[in-house]
């Protein structure tokens, strides 16, 4: 599998622009996959520089209904005329973030993109083919990110705590190697991995995604003791982790201390083969 990071909070060099967003390109022998589109059309610009033909992508996945993962959807639809886009059936709900000043800001997807016959709305689990599996409805409340508390959803004309039922994850299996892609792991990366195993799958060999251990608006990091507990669990999985975006530098330093060579920080322009 070839992996290319098209949008991230930081860049490996001035050649690539960065933003508060997340977009990963994965190429297998069978598929060319776009996982999330970042916050804008920036992923498309970086894709050109990294020799990724977005028009040739045959399948796209939006991990959840926040703009920093699906804000580039319109750009993708404009560039690519044929790929189906998989979203959880709640992805176009109305989602908000409470800022430190108490103001609630809309952080959901562009409602004007609806309806679109290229959207495929998913439920708890969808086996796309022998290579790809989407799953959501993650159970468990172990080590959930504290920064979730400032994220809200509209329900019955009121704003309530977001339950992140709109979040989905992608498992890719190719020639005995498994890759788990998680957008922000709002449901908790530990819970996501445990849920995957509960579905009957083996522990992944590789995991890519943000772990939401940093509250960007408030500039607050997850409790170091919680980060250490997460790190100790990840260590026993023996997987290789690539993280960034909403994980935060300080939590990453703790995870790096525990996981060593088994974790790396992502940036726009990073590419590797697994």
Give this prediction's pTM: 0.97
**Average pLDDT over every residue of 220-245:** 97
Cis, bond preceding 99 (omega within 30 deg of 0): no
3-state SS class at 230: helix
Q: What is the pLDDT of residue 141?
A: 82
What's the pLDDT tens digit per position in 11-55?
999 999 999 999 999 999 999 999 999 999 999 999 999 999 999
What CATH number corresponds to the domain at position 29? 3.60.15.10
30, 91, 132 from 125: Cα distances, Å: 21, 15, 11
How many structural domains does the chain have?
Answer: 1
Edge-to-edge strand list for the sheet holding 169-174: 125-127, 132-135, 169-174, 177-182, 206-209, 240-243, 263-265
Cβ distance 80 to 54 under 8 Å?
yes
Domain span at 157:
2-273
pLDDT band at 217 (very low <50, low <70, confident <90, very high): confident
């Amino acid at each position: 599998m070839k992996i290319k990071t098209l949008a991230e909070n930081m860049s490996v060099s001035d050649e690539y622009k960065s933003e508060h967003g997340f977009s990963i390109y994965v190429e297998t022998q069978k598929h060319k996959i776009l996982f999330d589109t970042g916050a804008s059309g920036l992923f498309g610009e970086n894709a050109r520089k990294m020799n990724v033909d977005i028009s040739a992508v045959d399948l796209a996945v939006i991990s959840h209904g926040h703009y920093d993962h699906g804000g580039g959807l319109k750009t993708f639809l404009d560039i690519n005329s044929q790929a189906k886009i998989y979203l959880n059936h709640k992805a176009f709900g109305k989602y908000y973030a409470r800022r430190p000043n108490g103001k609630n800001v809309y952080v959901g997807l562009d409602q004007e993109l609806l309806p679109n016959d290229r959207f495929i709305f998913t439920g708890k689990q969808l086996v796309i083919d022998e290579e790809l599996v989407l799953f959501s409805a993650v159970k468990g409340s172990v080590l959930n990110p504290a920064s979730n508390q400032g994220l809200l959803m509209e329900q019955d004309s009121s704003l309530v705590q977001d339950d992140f039922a709109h979040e989905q994850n992608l498992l890719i299996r190719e020639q005995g190697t498994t890759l788990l892609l998680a957008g922000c792991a709002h449901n908790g990366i530990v819970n996501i991995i445990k849920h995957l195993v509960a579905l009957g799958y083996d522990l992944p060999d590789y995991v890519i995604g943000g772990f939401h251990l940093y509250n960007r608006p408030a500039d607050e990091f997850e409790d170091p003791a919680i980060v250490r507990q997460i790190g100790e669990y990840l260590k026993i999985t023996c997987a290789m982790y690539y993280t960034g975006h909403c994980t935060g530098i300080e939590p990453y330093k703790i995870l790096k201390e525990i996981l060593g060579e088994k974790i790396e920080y992502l940036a726009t322009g990073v590419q590797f083969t697994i």
